[in-house]
Amino acid sequence: MKILVSGKGGSGKSTFSVLLAKALKNAGHRVLLIDADESNFCLHRLLGAPAPKNLMGEMGGRKGVREKLPRSKAAPSEDRLFGEEVLLENLPDGSLTEVDGIQLLVMGKIEQYGEGCACLIGSLSRTLLAKLREETYPFVIIDAEAGIEHFGRRIDATCDLILGVVDPTHESFTMAGRMARMASSAGVEIRFILNKVDQRVERIMTEKIDPDKVIAHIPDNDSIFRASLEGAPVTVRLKPVDDVVTFLETNPPRTRLKMM
Ligand SMILES: Nc1ncnc2c1ncn2[C@@H]1O[C@H](COP(=O)(O)OP(=O)(O)OP(=O)(O)O)[C@@H](O)[C@H]1O
Ligand SMILES: [Mg+2]
């Protein structure tokens, strides 16, 4: 199951992605965590890993990837990056890091002034996700960049489920509506995670987001706040996240309408 974690900047996507990866692993599942955010460098730290290499760099950088990508969005099978399917063991040495039984794959980062836009990294992500074999990697969690550009890049259509992380801001509530519409256009199911919830905001958040689509209320948690302040890994275990694992185990997404 490929799960794309989406939401407004700072809503808690990376934190939730790590919490979910750890909870799935604790429940006995094999997990691949993909850092598909081209700008932020924090996912490995939240997981407790040293700074990893990234896939684009290991595949020859921009030049190497550009030469092998398909010419059109409509023909991902034409790429020469991965062949028919992606097997993690065939990825370049150094592009995967394992932390406490969780595999981490970083797609690519903007590192130099003027190096070009992030579209190439998006194309690499879309191509890889479309060819990643689900039988071998039962849970793939993709920590997306802030906002909804991944919809524009059609990355969502390669996934089985979108988890929208909503924090207590008006911007997040309106973005949740747009995400739901785009998920519907992509033919992918979407559910929402209400994050940073406390007594002041719970009622308002519950009113703003379709209750049938909300699968967790994650509290505003001091341990998460402190980890972020100190640059430490997130180690807290939260029952609402374990409940998301149960939801995923018992509600496999219906067959997708692939709109690649
Ligand atoms: N449940 C929570 N309780 C307290 N703080 C939280 C919680 N979830 C996230 N945070 C804090 O909110 C901030 C943003 O979190 P995070 O980096 O996970 O968001 P993001 O959506 O991935 O951000 P970006 O859009 O920049 O990638 C961090 O300081 C993090 O510690
Ligand atoms: Mg993030």
CB 12 within 8 A of CB 165: yes
Query: What's the pLDDT score for residue 70?
Result: 66
Which atom, in ligand 1's list, is nearest to the CA of 219?
Answer: 1
Give a yes or no: residue 229 inside a domain.
yes
**What is the residue with the minimal CA distance to atom 10 of ligand 1?**
12
> What is the number of other CB atoms lying within 10 angstroms of the CB of residue 9?
14
Identify the pLDDT of residue 138: 86
Residue 107 to residue 57: CA distance in whole angstroms: 9
- Total domains, the chain: 1
Tell me, in angstroms, the distance from the centre of ligand 2 to residue 141's CA: 13
Q: What's the pLDDT score for residue 252?
A: 77
Mean pLDDT over 72-95 rounds to 75
Written as six digits, the tokens of 146 are 């802030």
User: Is 260 part of any domain?
Assistant: no
**Rounded average pLDDT over 14-35:** 97
CATH of the domain at 66: 3.40.50.300
C-alpha distances (whole Å) from 145 to each of 107, 121, 149 are: 11, 11, 8
Nearest CA to ligand 1 atom 23: 10
Residue 259 lies in a domain: no
What confidence score (pLDDT) does residue 72 get?
59
125 within a domain of the structure (yes/no)? yes
Q: Which ligand is nearest to the CA of 198?
A: 1
| Concatenated DSSP letters of the chain | -EEEEEESTTSSHHHHHHHHHHHHHHTT--EEEEE--SS---HHHHHT-PPPP-HHHHTTHHHHHHHHS-SSTT-GGG-SSSTTSB-GGGSPTTSEEEETTEEEEE-----STTS--THHHHHHHHHHHHTB-TTT-SEEEEEPPSBSHHHHTT-GGG-SEEEEEE-SSHHHHHHHHHHHHHHHHHT-EEEEEEEEE-TTTHHHHHHHS-GGGEEEEEE--HHHHHHHHHTPPP----HHHHHHHHHHHH-PPPPP----
Residue 101 lies in a domain: yes
**Range with the lowest mean pLDDT among 38-52, 75-89, 115-129, 236-250?**
75-89
- Tell whether 255 is covered by a domain: no
Q: What is the reported pLDDT for 137?
A: 75
Q: Which residues pair with 57 in a beta bridge?
A: none
Q: What's the pLDDT score for residue 38? A: 84
> For 90-128, how does the pLDDT look when each residue is reduced to its tens digit (9 = 90+)?
888 888 999 999 999 999 888 888 888 778 888 888 889
Cα angle 117-144-57, degrees, rounded to a multiple of 5: 50
CA of 16 to the centre of ligand 1 (A): 8
User: Is residue 68 in a domain?
Assistant: yes
The whole-model pTM stands at: 0.93
**Between 137 and 159, where is the model more confident?**
159
Mean pLDDT across the stretch 236-249? 97
- Judge whether 109 and 54 are in contact, CB under 8 Å: yes
Protein residue with least CA distance to atom 29, ligand 1: 228
pLDDT-derived band at 259 (thresholds 50, 70, 90) equals very low
Which residues form the domain of 32?
A: 2-250
Looking at residue 114, its pLDDT comes to: 81
pLDDT band of 81, cuts 50, 70, 90: confident
For residue 220, the ligand 1 atom closest to its alpha carbon is 3
Q: What percent of the chain has a predicted confidence (pLDDT) above 70?
A: 93
> CA 103 to CA 229: how far, in whole Å?
25
User: Does 260 score more than 70 pLDDT?
Assistant: no
Residue 156 in any domain: the answer is yes
* pLDDT recorded at residue 20: 98
Is the confidence at residue 257, as pLDDT, over 50?
no
Give residues (CB < 6 A) around ligand 1. 7, 9-15, 37, 40, 42, 146, 195-196, 218, 220-221, 224-225, 228
Instruction: Give the pLDDT band of residue 74 (cuts 50, 70, 90).
Output: low
pLDDT at 171 over 90: yes
